[in-house]
Amino acid sequence: MIRYVVVHATNAQLAKLVSAVDECQAAINDVAAFRDADAKFHRALAEVPGNPIFIALHDTFVEKLMKNRPVQDDFEARNRASNDDHKQILAALLAKNSDAAEAILTRHLTRNYGTYFFETLNGLGAVS
């Protein structure tokens, strides 16, 4: 999907991503505000193709996993690293660099969502 975003995102859609990155930056120290801004960034990516299934999947993921995850002791550092990734993804989109956008987004999702899945499994007693 990110390769599609590189080619097809409109200026208005890119502006929405810029706004979400700015919101994330302003909320680095605020868990709830950062989570909301982070969700806005990823939803803005999911909206570009105009496929309601992508948006529904994103919204379900946010509600079931992201917003319910426990707060980590190092949340500020994690938020900063996450938004640094957002900035790099945005830079790759603006440069029309599909390879970089895909590599950065893959790294970002692997690191962050892997943590969320582990926390969820651990909370269910599935991991010790």
Q: What is the pTM of this model?
A: 0.85
* Inter-CA distances, 47 with 26, 37, 105, 106, 109, Å: 23, 15, 16, 18, 17
Looking at residue 127, its pLDDT comes to 47
Average pLDDT per 10 consecutive residues for the chain, totaling 128 residues: 96 98 98 94 96 92 72 87 97 98 94 70 56
CATH numbers and ranges of domains, the chain: 2-123 (1.20.120.530)
